[in-house]
Each structure stands twice: as C-alpha cells, then as structure tokens.
A and B are shown apart, each in its own frame.
Chain A
C-alpha cells in the first residue's frame, strides 16, 4: 500500500528564518510527486511536480527536491504570506493514477 508521511505536522517560523518540510513516501515505483499549498478554507493550489531522484524545482522562495525515498520543500527567507498548509501527494507507477496524499504540514510565519 502506498504511504505518504509529512513532517513536521506544524511549523512556526519567524519571518526570514529558512527551513524545510519533509515528505517521506513508500510506493512501488514513483510516477510523480506533487506539492500543493492550501490556504485555510480553500482548495489546494498546485506548486510543483517532481518525477525522478535528483530533480529540483523552484518558485520564488520555495524549492522542492526529490530523492528515492523523500522530498523536501525548502523555504528560504519566508514571509507571513507563505503561511499555509503544504500537502504532498505521490502517484505510483504501473497502477492506478490516483495520487495518495499526506496529511500536510501547517506552516505559520510570524512577522
């Protein structure tokens, strides 16, 4: 069974204090790993797709990296507007295309 575990569950940072969120996964072959941002009371918003170990993608203060067992979402010099829940989802190769979601990391950035 595919599993996705995100850590920490919650993270509080001061503005400008860089950190990383972790997404560990267990799948029988990875087709794709997705990161989403979800603001309170809203639907998730797509951020990145990663396909193979060693791949990296960046968007503003966010950088996503991928290994064979986990992905990191690095946040550099965060601002209060980066506060949100970040969800990770994985899609397994060779089977159903339905992604498995983690429970997310709730990030709060204090000014």
Chain B
C-alpha cells in the first residue's frame, strides 16, 4: 500500500545534541510538510516543499532545518534541541497545492533529556 513512513517512531536525544528525523513516501506527491504537535494542540506547520521549492514558516525557529533530496524523502534536522522541542513530529504529503487532503505519517515522538 502507498504510504507515508517516518523513522524512527521514537527518538530520545540529549539537550543540545543534534537529531535528524526522516520521512519517506510512496505516494509520489508533490508537496511534503513537517508539523510539530504538542499535547492537545493543533499541528503547527514548520516547513513545506512544493517539489524542490522550500517554504519556511515565519515563526519556525532557526534551530530547525529541512532537506528534501528527492521526491520520496524529506528530513527534519534539529541542530540543538531544547526541552521545549519535545513533541510529536508529523510528516505529511499532498498531491498538489489546491484542495487536496493531506496524508500523514505515524509521527516521531521526540524526547529531550
């Protein structure tokens, strides 16, 4: 089945130690998104790519970066995680920009110790 895959599902990192989260998709969708979701809150968009065009949300901290080396893969890098970065990180895809629903991966739960 076509799907969105995120690895790892659970990640524990130390304060200040860089971490990379990965996302892959078999849907061949143009758009890929990274969201941060904290408990009982709406998903907060960090970045999205329309094909290779990178779009950074204005309030995304500089500590967060992203890479999309090809259509199928996208990475989220957190350069120096703080305690406030502990959250669920969700990757999503959509076929194109207009009027299409998003397909989410299972998420990566990040813990910062």
Residues of A whose CB lies within 8 Å of any CB of B are 4, 9, 31-32, 34, 36, 41-46, 49, 51, 87, 89, 91, 97-99, 101-104, 106
- A42 vs B13: C-alpha distance when bound (angstroms): 20
B45: chain A residues within 8 A (beta carbon) = 98
Report which of A31, A34, A36, A102 forms a contact with B98, defined as CB distance below 8 A.
Answer: A31
With A42-B106, A43-B104 given, is the CB distance from A101 to B99 under 8 Å? no
Within 8 Å CB of B99, what residues of A? 31-32, 49, 51, 91, 97
Looking across the interface, which residue of chain A has its beta carbon closest to that of B99?
A32
12 CB contacts below 8 A, A to B, read A31-B98, A41-B88, A41-B109, A43-B4, A43-B91, A43-B107, A46-B104, A51-B99, A87-B42, A98-B45, A99-B102, A104-B42
* Interface residue B41 (Cβ < 8 Å from any Cβ of A): yes
Is B90 in the interface zone, CB < 8 Å from A?
A: yes
Q: Which residue of B lies closest to A91 (CB)?
A: B99
Tell me whether B102 and A46 are in contact (CB under 8 A): yes
A43 touching B41 by the CB < 8 A rule? no
B81 at the interface (CB under 8 A from A): no
Residue of B nearest to A46 (CB): B101
* A102 and B42 form a contact (CB under 8 A): yes
CB-nearest residue of chain A relative to B4? Answer: A43
When the two chains form the complex, which single residue of A4, A34, A43, A106 contacts B105, counting CB atoms closer than 8 Å? Answer: A43
Per the bound structure, the CA–CA distance linking A40 and B105 in Å amounts to: 13
